[in-house]
Structure formats: C-alpha cells, structure tokens
Amino acid sequence: MNTALPLTAAQRSIWFAQQLTPEIPYVIAHYAELHGPVDLAVLGDCTRRAHLEFGWGAIRLLDVDGQPHQVVDPTVVDRVPTTDLRDENDPVEAAHRWMHHDRSARTDMYDGSLLTSHILQLGDEHYYWYSRAHHIASDGYAAMMLMSRTAELYVAAVEGREPPDCRVVGPERVIQEDAAYRTSARFVRDRDYWREQGSDLPSVVGLSGRAARSGATARTATGHATRSASSRNATAVTVAAFASYLARMTGSDDVVLSLPVSARTTARLRSSGGCVSNVIPLRLGGIGSGTVRNAVATTEAAVTAALRHQRYRREDIGRDLASGG
C-alpha cells in the first residue's frame, strides 16, 4: 500500500485556494509546437516515463482524517492520447480552442491524475505537444523540467541510446526539505526580514477603483524589447518600468508589487519538480519620484534582497502582519 504523505506548505496554500474558489482551475498548462516527423508512439512513451520518473507526475490526493494528503501512485499515469485535427477548417484555431476548453474546465483535485499530457495533430508533420497539471502537483519551473526531460528521453530513444540518468528529486525528499526549513534558523531569519519589510507598509494602490472578479480566462499581451534594453538586467528594468508607471498614475511615491519566484534556494530544490514556487512582496520606496537610473537601481537592490528570503511563504507573511507579529 502506498504511504500517505503530508502536503508541503506550498501545496497547502494551493489546496486552500482551490477550496475557496472551486470554480477557478488552478492549473499549469503549456504546449510546444513541433514541426517535422514525430514518432507519436515514442513521444507518448517518453512522456509517460518522464511523469513516472518525476514522481510528481504520479501523485494523487486523498483524505486522511479530514486532512489532505498525497500518495505516489504510478497507476494514475495513463497513456498519452492523440487528437487528430487535420480535417478541421482551421486546425490551429481548433487546437487553441481545444486547449482553452481543457485548461478552463473545472477540476477535482481528488479525481485521479493531477498531471496529464495530450498530443494534438494539426498537419501531417505539425503537432502541439500539450500538458496540464493542477498547481498542487506542479509549478512553472517543474513544468519546464518535465518537458526538458521528456525531450531528452525522446532524442535518446530515436537515436537508439540510453538517456542520461534522471536526477529529479521526488515528493518524499521535497516534503522532508520543506519540514526541515520550517524548523530551521533560516526560517527565523526569513521571518524576521519580512516582518521588518512589512512594517509601515504604504497604502494599496491600483489602476482602477475596483478589484477584478476571479475568472478562468487569461489575457495575453506580447512585445519585443529593444537590444539596448535587453543588454541590461531585464527583470529589474521591466519591474522598475511597471512600478514607476503605477506610482506616477496613482500619485504614489512608494509601491509594493507581487513578485513570483521559484523559491528553489538549494541544490535539492533546484532539482525538484512539484509545487514549490512562491509570490513575495516587493517594496519599492521612492520609485515614483526617482530618475530612470535610480528606479532601476532601487529595483535591482530590492529584488536581490527579496530573493535571499524567497522561501518564506506569502501566506505566512500575511499571517504575521495580520497578527502584528
């Protein structure tokens, strides 16, 4: 019988969020576009093998005495189906419609596999290789790792050689790492840092006078940075630009942004799949009145400091501030 394992702190936050808003699918979905000859059987086998190797691709949730737990259950990892869209009037549009419906559908965390993959065929040598995972089983970092490992397995298979060993850290060790952190001196230092950062926070500002309703539809805007902008710290420049815009538009000099982070601060975590990522507050003082140079420098310093303490959970920060701790 598979051993029931507790959820990590990151997983518990997703579990609670899903309970509060069951209509919102907390999923990580992505696809890779493939052109050229693809051995669909081999790709399917390699995808399934990668799910099993990661361990996180084979977890399912169960209730133990009223509390959510997880087990590694290889039987939930099924074959990778293929949907042929070549007869559609517009296969590309049909594929995007199919993926939108799949990632927007209401999900049940306790109903079987939390990570699935699918192959959509748009042309004789044109495919979308699609994966969807509930956020309790995967984050964006883990999704990239899983896709990279599957590609590694596929290339080795078609070349007739053994693939490199899989070095992914599975659920049991990540749970141990999470528990050890929460009883460590590092946890205390991180807590003290965020308590100091959270003191005397500026007022919440926004570009509209109301909060948006929760929804499953994502809006995407894309663009290209110039070469001169790309040569600098792209993250700091982007964050500084948005923070400065927000400050100027709201008449505020200090703003606090939410910064998504991987929270993988150790070698073990950097080799882990699963749900580890976090969202931390980024406090930017004087960003509204500063020059471009000062805004970028302020942002670089703030991001660097925040990343040193990125494992401390956003929900713990909120709880500390609410309690006055």
Equal fold, 5-168 vs 175-205+230-323: yes
Spatial separation of the C-alpha atoms in residues 310 and 303, rounded to whole Å: 10
User: Pick from 187, 175, 143, 192: which is nearest to 9 by CA?
Assistant: 175
Q: Supply the pTM of this predicted model.
A: 0.89
- What tokens appear for 311 in the block? 């494992």
**Which contiguous run of DSSP H or E holds residue 248?**
helix 234-250
Cβ neighbours of residue 75 closer than 8 Å, sequence gap 6 or more: none
| In contact, 142 and 274? CB cutoff 8 Å | yes
- Per-residue pLDDT band for 231 (boundaries 50, 70, 90) equals very low
Spatial separation of the C-alpha atoms in residues 134 and 113, rounded to whole Å: 9
**104-138 tens-digit pLDDT:** 998 889 987 899 999 999 999 999 999 999 999 99
Judge: domain 5-168, CATH 3.30.559.10: yes
Domain spanning 175-205+230-323: CATH superfamily:
Nonribosomal peptide synthetase, condensation domain (3.30.559.30)
Give the three-state DSSP class for 61. strand
**153-180 tens-digit pLDDT:** 999 999 999 999 988 888 999 999 999 9
- Give the β-pairing of 82-84 and 67-72: unpaired
User: Pick from 210, 218, 206: which is nearest to 96 by CA?
Assistant: 218
| In contact, 20 and 315? CB cutoff 8 Å | no
Which amino acid, residue 5? L
Q: What are phi and psi of 118, to 5 degrees?
A: -155, 145
Give the start-to-end residue ranges of the domains of the chain: 5-168, 175-205+230-323
Strand partners, 32: 129
Cβ neighbours of residue 265 closer than 8 Å, sequence gap 6 or more: 310, 311
**High-pLDDT (> 70) share of the chain, %:** 93
